A and B are shown apart, each in its own frame.
Chain A
Amino acid sequence: MVQGPAAVAAPGRGRGRAVTALLLTPTSLWYLLLLLVPLAILIVFSFGERSPVGGYHPGLTLENYLRLPTRQAAFVNTLVLAVASTALCALLGYPLAYYLATRAGSRRTLLLILIALPFLTSFLIRTYAWFTILGANGIPAILGALGVSPRPVLLNTHFAILIGIVYNYLPLMVFPLYVSLERLDKRLLEASKDLGAGRWATFRQVTLPLSAPGLISGALLVFIPMMGEYIIPNMLGGGKVFFVGNALVDLFLQSRNWPFGSAAAIGLIMVVLITVSIYLFLTSRGRVQREVSQL
């Protein structure tokens, strides 16, 4: 009799487990087939050799990794531009998200839709539009007509890439920021002012730290895909500014050096992992420090 309840509960628990398994199976399979398996292949390839006709030849060598420094420029370019444009997105996105969350009033929904609107057209078309705007017949032509000489060259520069990147990635920064600012309890701001803090002091001590989660996730959403960016530097940078993404395409499709390409891809993954880890470590430590009392 004592075992009664357990005996009754057991089938229930078993069913619970079955449901859990059912819920998780599709995504597990998805990740297994499309993430873990390719990753394993990539790792295996990266230690292999290029076969004479291109592609992969089994082997076990560190040669590919030792050759990575030859692509140093691409890695540096990618990292510098990704960091710079993440910072720029944060700088531009924060005031916008703040305005939307606190002051936009009834216009808020309309503005949110407007921000999301470019996403209704294809990424390629949006970027191609910038290609035209920044190209010789775009802004430089207008400036030339206005008497600016010599006409500035905008296309195929770091600047053009930065514009394309910020334009395409800004909403990814704005939305999480908007959510965290919108959720911020306005009474906390009143409490801060009540306790003697002015506008700026309140922003620095209450608004900013409490919207940090939105800022951090926004930064990750922008930074991580940007590290693998290929189309924007290709179109707006004219191949002059070489990204890791471009290097990978070259290695896999042009020179068909799959092992070296795999090593470069692993290198990119490592760079992203390390950068993100350092970033998360710094931001979480900073928050803990702020929160701990001097008592």
Chain B
Amino acid sequence: MAGQSQERTGQTDVEFRSVTKRFGAVVAVDDVDLRIRAGSFYSLLGPSGCGKTTSLRMIAGFEDPTAGEIFIGGEPVLGVPPYRRQVNTVFQHYALFPHMDVGRNVGYGLRQRRVPREEQERRVQEALDLVRLSAYGRRRVWELSGGQQQRVALARALINHPTVLLLDEPLGALDLKLRKEMQLELKALQHQVGITFVYVTHDQEEAITMSDRIAVMRDGRIQQEGTPTELYDEPANRFVASFLGQSNFFEGELLEDGELAGVRTARGLILWGRRPGSREPLAAGSRATVAIRPERISLAGDPPADAAVDRETATLPGRVLQGTYLGDQSEYQIETDALGPLMVRSINSEGLPAAHFGAGAAVRVAWRARSSLVLGI
């Protein structure tokens, strides 16, 4: 019994085995392996053209892989048409049927499966209740706001109790405030219904907020896969570090690889940084980059005379080029002789003096070597 339940919690709902998809000469998805755990909120994150939407469309059945295999709930689905898959999609622009009212839209899937009339009516109402549109069954879809249409699309997909719900940039068309609200709502909804969500987005903040796990994609390949924390704190390469959050990058030559690595930067300064856990090994002498998050750098009003860098800390004198006060935080562009320009973000929390530095101010820039990462180019 114990083994069985363990198997259930570890169950994989969607699996890609060496999946490749070509459109003519273009390789949209390039030899991707993927395992999405049952009941998880999984995001495919990447810039446009990275293959995330194509991957989603292959799960839905709108595209067939050129090579490789796809499994849904353990079953191979190659050649199974979309209407026979236990998968439903929330489309980017909702794709609601304009000639049907909200209730007819939501009940569409049930009608295809010849669910008895009374059950249809009950489940449509339940689905509308779930997305808080209880009284909207008779409304025309084009009378609804973007957020409401979004919810109708969700209800229309969820009513079929799919194994996996696919969401293709569903919040893309909404304004910022509504998007934030819907992010929380979606996450809560996923928790409530317990269905596996596969979420496609180019918005890193959205992915971080909602996902249990994220696969960062670029040029058809998965760059890194992990929890939001892993991706943010331990990015495997420069692309992931720049795509999730912001970073200062300093390129140079790798002196030695190890748990802690040293890089000689363009202006001769040697910076030390931690190597990420999921690191690709780097050869001494190869090109590498040191990545430092702007919020991991501290600023003080007492500039040192010279740059001092060792395996513990880095301390540099600098000058503020521009300071932007953002209320809860301040963002600075700092010019340093030793490294060139860098970005610093400091939180304006209570207790700390609101030490906002104006343009031209001489400052001390410092960070712990372990707060920076040494990554491959």
Contact = CB atoms under 8 A, between A and B. Distances in A.
Given A187-B93, A293-B107, A295-B124, A194 B101 contact: no
A196 B117 CA distance: 17
Question: Which of B87, B93, B108, B113 has its CB near the most chain A CB atoms (within 10 A)?
Answer: B108
A294 interface: yes
Nearest to B84: A196
Given A196-B113, A197-B112, A295 B137 contact: yes
A166 B120 CA distance: 44
Contacts of A294: 103-104, 107, 117, 120-121
A287 B99 contact: yes
B137 A293 contact: yes
Contacts, number: 88
Nearest to A292: B101
A17 interface: no
Nearest to B168: A187
Contact of A293 (B60, B104, B160): B104
Interface in A186-205: 187-188, 190-198, 201, 205
A199 to B, nearest CB: 9
Contact of B112 (A196, A292, A293): A196
B288 to A, nearest CB: 45
Nearest to A210: B99
A192 B105 CA distance: 10
B125 A185 contact: no
Nearest to B88: A194
Contacts of B95: 185, 187-188, 190-191
Interface in B102-128: 102-104, 107-109, 112-113, 117, 120-121, 124-125
A44 to B, nearest CB: 46
A194 B82 contact: yes
Given A209-B99, A210-B98, A195 B121 contact: no
A191 B106 CA distance: 12
A151 interface: no
Contacts of B61: 193
Nearest to A209: B99
Contacts of B93: 187
B98 A191 contact: no
Given A191-B97, A210-B98, A291 B104 contact: yes
A285 to B, nearest CB: 14
B93 to A, nearest CB: 7
Contact of B82 (A185, A193, A201, A206): A193
Interface residues of B, number: 36
Nearest to B117: A294
A108 interface: no
B83 A196 contact: yes
Interface residues of A, number: 24
B156 interface: yes
A290 interface: yes
A175 to B, nearest CB: 22
A185 B97 CA distance: 10
Interface string B25-46: 0000000000000000000000
A190 to B, nearest CB: 6
A291 B82 contact: no
Contact of B121 (A197, A291, A295): A295
A50 to B, nearest CB: 53
A192 B108 contact: yes
Contact of B101 (A187, A197, A291): A291
B91 interface: yes
Contact of B99 (A193, A195, A290, A295): A290
Given A293-B104, A295-B124, A193 B109 contact: no
Nearest to A201: B112
B96 to A, nearest CB: 8
A293 B101 contact: yes
Contacts of B100: 290-291, 293
B89 interface: yes
A270 B67 CA distance: 65
Contacts of A201: 112
A5 B58 CA distance: 62
B160 A196 contact: yes
B81 A193 contact: yes
Contacts of A292: 101, 104, 138
A293 B138 contact: yes
Contacts of A198: 81, 83
Contacts of A290: 99-100
Interface in B40-75: 60-62
Contacts of B103: 293-295
A283 to B, nearest CB: 13
Contact of B109 (A187, A195, A210): A195
Given A191-B97, A291-B99, A293-B137, A197 B91 contact: no
B109 A295 contact: no
The 4 closest A-B pairs by CB, nearest first: A293-B103, A196-B112, A191-B95, A195-B109
26 contacts: A185-B95, A190-B62, A190-B89, A191-B89, A191-B91, A191-B96, A192-B97, A192-B108, A193-B81, A193-B82, A194-B82, A194-B83, A194-B87, A194-B88, A195-B109, A196-B112, A197-B83, A209-B99, A210-B99, A292-B101, A293-B103, A293-B104, A293-B124, A294-B104, A294-B120, A295-B103
Given A194-B60, A196-B113, 16 more contacts: A188-B98, A190-B91, A191-B95, A194-B82, A194-B87, A194-B89, A195-B83, A197-B108, A209-B99, A291-B100, A292-B138, A293-B101, A293-B102, A294-B107, A295-B125, A295-B137
Interface of B: 60-62, 81-83, 87-89, 91, 93, 95-104, 107-109, 112-113, 117, 120-121, 124-125, 137-138, 156-157, 160
